[in-house]
Amino acid sequence: MEDKQLNKSPKTKIILTTATIALVVGIIFGGLAGAIMGVLSTDYLLPWFEQTFNLSLPGISQNGLPSRIQVVEESATVDVVQEASPAVVSIVITKELSTYYSSAPSFPFDFFGFDWPFFQPEEDEDAPTVKQEVGGGTGFIISDDGLILTNKHVVADEDAEYTVVLNDGTQYEAEVVGQDPFLDLAVVKIEASDLPILELGDSDNIQIGQTVIAIGNALSEYRNTVTKGVISGINRRIVAGDRSGGSEVIEEAIQTDAAINPGNSGGPLLNLAGQVVGVNTAVSQRGQSVGFAIPINSAKRIVESIKEHGRIVRPWLGVRYMIINDAIAKENNLSVNYGALIVRGRNPGDIAVIPASPADKAGLLENDIILEIEGERVDEEHPLAVLIAQYNPGDNIKLKVLSKGEEKTVIVTLEEYAESTLED
């Protein structure tokens, strides 16, 4: 019996052969056509569609990432730098000193890097005195008539002179018009007009992973150096200090991996909209790419105060305290794991409640725990100093206080802070 599946007619063989050839030719030409259309769509058709129909269509780069997203972000970064740089200034610090004979450079900070002075000099008492550049920092213009925001530690030396250098090299003598008593912030003034300014953003809306740009006077030598990174953390509480014993507590600090170098202090941390979200202030000397900035919302009140009053007006309570958490509550056998415990400082003269302060007048005592301010809980995420800063001198505020095991309500009238209040 013949196998019909194996013995096909010549006509059938011709049809099968033709179909096979057609299939192969179709695959080859289809692949070529697809490749050609891919090139055309990327180089010609895609731009034409985007331009004609106002579309934004992603392409794919060689590393597998959407190339047009990359281009958009890079373009935004370039735009921000070009727009912001004219409003970012360098601050040069000079002093009348005898000639320095300095050994190898020695940065004076252990953990967080403040920027002045860069060197630990040996002074020759017999040498003639001359003006010398001893350090520097960064600032940015916040009003077109010459107000500049920077860090307090950049302009803290009352015996030094400060010069502001614009991005185009123009120099101005600078006057320190205000230093915040609680934050590492200061405002200086130059006599100029029609200056470019930076827009202040909203640091409450920042997110971890968000792209940010830092601009600053790196190493007090390279003006308007640009670095880019992301927000690595928010609401950090850090203590930045130098070997001389000075320190600053920064509440709700923004952590970033954008490189912040000595000389960058006081410079802006910008989002991709070109808005300032933080003021760069400190960097870890033990780790890599660990820098910190003061949230710009914390600075807005002092900016408004300088513009309105010509000085920084701060409300004052008059207590020293530590924020309670689980560990502190357990270690001290406390009945609550939140609040501000009123305690003495480390030095013998650092008493818990300042005499004649608003807290003293309201009857607050050492070891009292301030639990709430106007119904808002005091804890690590809402420190006492940050909550008090929301009010003005003269405001009457209601405190919930745990005193000797009993809760009570205390009304405090805030006063304006002045250096003399701690000296009386």
Q: How far is CA 160 from CA 278, 327, 345, 387, in A?
A: 26, 43, 30, 34
How far is the C-alpha of 166 from the C-alpha of 261, rounded, in Å?
Answer: 19
For the annotated catalytic residues, the residue numbers are 153, 184, 265
Structure tokens at 87: 């409003």
Question: What's the one-letter identity of residue 150?
Answer: T
Cross-strand pairs, 132: 95
Question: What's the one-letter identity of residue 114?
Answer: F
